[in-house]
């Protein structure tokens, strides 16, 4: 990758992080201790620390910018619940730190001895920050804060997109190769799998379809939904309650909720291998990514992004739960950031495809996301397969 793009991405990632927290009051900046979020002050420092640790200290051999940052920001060693009580620098001092790290990384990109090893860790750090920026979006939704100021408001009202497509059976290649550019260790390595023919929905399950399930079964509604006696189902979108949008995908639901819907509908979740095959040819340049819509759009939007089989929005809009446990591929080996995948195998479920708050430079059809099946806060929905 060329230096100009590297610098652009480093600058953009840090600008996005600051935009996602800059408008918050000091009171909002100190959220309550919740299992699914991090305190903002710690998390923005951690995002910068990751750049400093891997790019400046590990790859370039430079000394830390602040005393003993490992004791403050190393997520692998600092238990989650203690992050609220750490002696962190003040908010202004933390912002000074993350901007200083950014500037030193930019200097490193300009250095004469920049090599492939440096580029790998710069990309790793940018993508890591992209993931935390999505987490900031989730945190703001969790806490009922306003929509992030860097979100757009593009209107993609296009209606439903019902029905299934048939994916023929055969031998397919899953995963990534060494020549595919930057990849994460859980994508190693590309391998072939035999998959029987299957039928998969053209689009994710919509809010109206999920409301029909709730009305028919009395199941527990999503965490950000409530029923208005006069207005029907409402959904909280950050700090506003809005009527459910019938043709937009249901989101912020757990794997268990997705599976319960499938059992009621006489359907099933796709395996992650089926999902990856069905997504072949999806175009991430025609997708709801990068906060452009300020939320989900109708499931019929972005027809130009269809996969070769006719599946829509396999990339963007909502992450999609699959039936698959998060497991290593045969031949898996840890990359230098050993904590990225290995600790989470066998306890998490795999999601695919990205959401409206995912960065377009990060997501690909081979990208594997993973969460515990009980998580109801992430921008996750699902599509179904015929039995």
Q: What is the pLDDT of residues 348-364, one digit of tens each?
A: 999 999 999 999 999 99
Distances (CA, A) of 272 to 60, 175, 215, 364: 37, 11, 29, 13
What is the spatial distance between Cα 202 and Cα 299, in angstroms, rounded to a whole number?
Answer: 9
In the predicted model, what is the mean pLDDT of residues 307-329?
98
Q: What is the pLDDT of residue 231?
A: 79
Verdict on whether the full-model pTM lies above 0.85: yes
Question: What is 3-143's CATH topology?
Answer: 1.20.120
**Tens of pLDDT, residues 213-224:** 999 999 999 999
CB-CB contact of 236 with 245 (8 Å): no
Q: What is the pLDDT of residue 57?
A: 97
Q: What is the pLDDT of residue 358?
A: 98
Structure tokens at 357: 């708050």
In the predicted model, what is the mean pLDDT of residues 72-101?
97
What is the spatial distance between Cα 234 and Cα 174, in angstroms, rounded to a whole number?
Answer: 39
Query: Could you give the residue range(s) of every CATH 1.20.120 domain in the chain?
Result: 3-143
Average pLDDT, the chain: 97
- How large a percentage of the chain has pLDDT more than 70? 100
Q: What is the pLDDT of residue 179?
A: 86
**Tens of pLDDT, residues 15-29:** 999 999 999 999 999
Choosing among 1.10.3720.10, 1.10.3470.10, 1.10.1740.10, 3.90.1580.10, the CATH entry for 164-386 is 3.90.1580.10
Q: What is the pLDDT of residue 156?
A: 81
What is the spatial distance between Cα 20 and Cα 91, in angstroms, rounded to a whole number?
Answer: 14
CB-CB contact of 296 with 340 (8 Å): no
What is the spatial distance between Cα 5 and Cα 14, in angstroms, rounded to a whole number?
Answer: 14
What is the spatial distance between Cα 123 and Cα 223, in angstroms, rounded to a whole number?
Answer: 35
**Tens of pLDDT, residues 134-172:** 999 999 999 999 999 889 988 788 999 999 999 999 999
Query: 249: which DSSP letter?
Result: B
What is the spatial distance between Cα 259 and Cα 279, in angstroms, rounded to a whole number?
Answer: 21
In the predicted model, what is the mean pLDDT of residues 287-300?
96
Q: What is the pLDDT of residue 38?
A: 98
**Tens of pLDDT, residues 93-147:** 999 999 999 999 999 999 999 999 999 999 999 999 999 999 999 999 999 999 9
Q: What is the pLDDT of residue 230?
A: 87
Is the pLDDT score of 192 beyond 90? yes
Query: Could you give the residue range(s) of every CATH 3.90.1580.10 domain in the chain?
Result: 164-386
What is the spatial distance between Cα 384 and Cα 171, in angstroms, rounded to a whole number?
Answer: 22
Query: 181: which DSSP letter?
Result: S
């Amino acid at each position: 990758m060329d230096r100009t793009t590297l610098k652009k991405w480093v600058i953009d990632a840090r600008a996005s992080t600051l935009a996602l927290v800059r408008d918050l009051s000091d009171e909002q900046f100190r959220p309550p201790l919740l299992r699914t979020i991090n305190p903002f002050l710690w998390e923005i420092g951690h995002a910068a620390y990751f750049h400093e640790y891997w790019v400046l200290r590990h790859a370039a051999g430079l000394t830390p910018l602040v005393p003993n940052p490992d004791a403050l920001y190393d997520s692998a060693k600092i238990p989650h619940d203690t992050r609220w009580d750490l002696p962190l620098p003040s908010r202004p001092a933390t912002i000074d730190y993350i901007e200083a790290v950014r500037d030193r990384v930019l200097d490193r990109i300009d250095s004469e001895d920049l090599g492939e090893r440096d580029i790998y860790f710069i990309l790793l750090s940018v993508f890591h920050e992209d993931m935390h920026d999505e987490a900031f979006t989730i945190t703001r939704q969790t806490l009922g804060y306003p929509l992030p100021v860097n979100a757009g408001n593009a209107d993609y009202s296009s209606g439903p997109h019902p029905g299934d497509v048939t994916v023929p059976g055969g031998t397919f290649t899953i995963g990534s190769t060494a020549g595919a550019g930057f990849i994460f260790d859980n994508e190693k390595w590309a391998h072939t799998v035999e998959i029987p023919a299957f039928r998969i929905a053209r689009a994710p399950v919509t809010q109206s379809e999920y409301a029909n399930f709730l009305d028919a079964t009395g199941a527990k509604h999503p965490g950000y939904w409530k029923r208005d006696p006069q207005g029907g189902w409402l959904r909280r979108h950050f700090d506003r309650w809005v009527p459910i949008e019938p043709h937009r995908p249901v989101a912020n639901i757990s794997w268990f909720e997705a599976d319960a819907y499938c059992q009621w509908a006489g359907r099933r979740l796709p395996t992650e291998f089926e999902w990856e095959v069905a997504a072949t040819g999806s175009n991430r340049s025609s997708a709801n990514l990068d906060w452009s819509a300020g939320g989900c759009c109708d499931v019929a939007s972005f027809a130009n992004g269809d996969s070769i089989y006719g599946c829509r929005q396999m990339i963007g809009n909502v992450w999609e739960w699959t039936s698959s446990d998060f497991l290593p591929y045969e031949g898996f080996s840890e990359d230098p950031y050993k904590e990225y995948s290995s600790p989470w195998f066998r306890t998490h479920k795999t999601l695919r495809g990205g959401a409206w708050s995912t960065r377009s430079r990060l997501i690909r059809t081979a990208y594997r996301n993973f969460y515990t099946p009980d998580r109801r806060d992430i921008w996750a929905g699902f599509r179904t397969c015929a039995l």
